[in-house]
C-alpha cells in the first residue's frame, strides 16, 4: 500500500480511545463515526470540504434518504465492494431496510481484517471485520489524495 493509505490508518488508530460523543469530531475529546472520518480528513488531507448541519441520532431514517452515502459520493472516491484495501472508508447498513449510517476505516486486510470506528457505548475502537460486520457493508470509498477545493 501507499504511504498515503498508511497515513490514513495511522491517523485512524491515533483516535482509538476517543470517547463516543454524537456530532463531535475532536481527537481525545469525543466523536461519532462521521466525526472520526472528518477528523482523519482534517489531519491527513486538509480543511473539511463542507459544513455539516446538525443531525439527530436517527437522521435521514424517517425520510429513508441515504444522506450519508450521498455525502460520501460527493467527497470520497467510490470503489468496488470486493476491492478491500487499508485506508478504505467503509459504509455499513446496520439493519435491513434502514439507511446506511455507520462508517469505519479499514485498518488491515487478509485473513483477519480489522477496521477502526467510533461506536456508541465504546468510543473509537479497532474491531475485527468479522462476518456480522462484513455482511453489513454497502459501499467502499477512498479518501482523495489531495485537498478538494
Average pLDDT for 78-85: 97
Domains delineated in the chain: 3-50+64-142 (3.90.1720.10)
**Given a cut of 90, is residue 60 above it in pLDDT?**
no
**Residue 51: partners with Cβ closer than 8 Å, 6 or more residues away:** none
CA angle 73, 76, 128 (to 5 degrees): 105
**Residue 70: partners with Cβ closer than 8 Å, 6 or more residues away:** none
Q: Which of 33-37, 65-69, 133-137 has the lowest mean pLDDT?
A: 65-69
CB atoms near residue 8 (< 10 Å): 26
H/E stretch holding 132: helix 131-134
**Given a cut of 80, is residue 67 above it in pLDDT?**
yes
**Residue 69: partners with Cβ closer than 8 Å, 6 or more residues away:** 91, 99, 100, 138, 139
Predicted pLDDT at 108 = 98
Predicted pLDDT at 149 = 46
> Interhelix angle for 33-44 vs 3-14, to 10°?
130
CB 138 within 8 A of CB 69: yes
Predicted pLDDT at 20 = 97
Q: Which of 28-42, 43-57, 90-104, 131-145 has the lowest mean pLDDT?
A: 43-57
Q: How large a percentage of the chain has pLDDT more than 90?
A: 79
Amino acid at each position: 500500500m501507499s504511504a498515503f493509505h498508511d497515513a490514513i490508518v495511522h491517523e485512524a488508530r491515533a483516535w482509538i480511545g476517543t470517547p463516543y460523543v454524537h456530532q463531535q469530531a475532536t481527537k481525545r475529546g469525543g466523536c461519532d463515526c462521521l466525526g472520526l472520518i472528518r477528523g482523519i480528513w482534517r489531519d491527513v488531507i486538509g480543511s473539511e470540504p463542507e459544513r455539516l448541519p446538525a443531525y439527530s441520532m436517527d437522521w435521514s431514517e424517517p425520510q429513508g434518504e441515504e444522506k450519508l452515502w450521498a455525502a460520501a459520493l460527493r467527497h470520497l472516491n467510490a470503489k468496488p465492494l470486493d476491492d478491500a484495501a487499508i485506508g478504505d472508508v467503509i459504509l455499513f447498513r446496520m439493519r435491513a431496510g434502514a439507511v446506511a449510517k455507520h462508517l469505519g476505516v479499514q485498518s488491515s486486510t487478509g485473513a483477519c481484517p480489522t477496521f477502526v470506528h467510533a461506536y456508541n457505548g465504546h468510543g473509537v475502537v479497532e474491531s475485527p471485520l468479522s462476518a456480522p460486520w462484513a455482511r453489513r457493508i454497502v459501499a467502499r470509498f477512498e479518501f482523495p489524495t489531495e485537498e478538494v477545493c
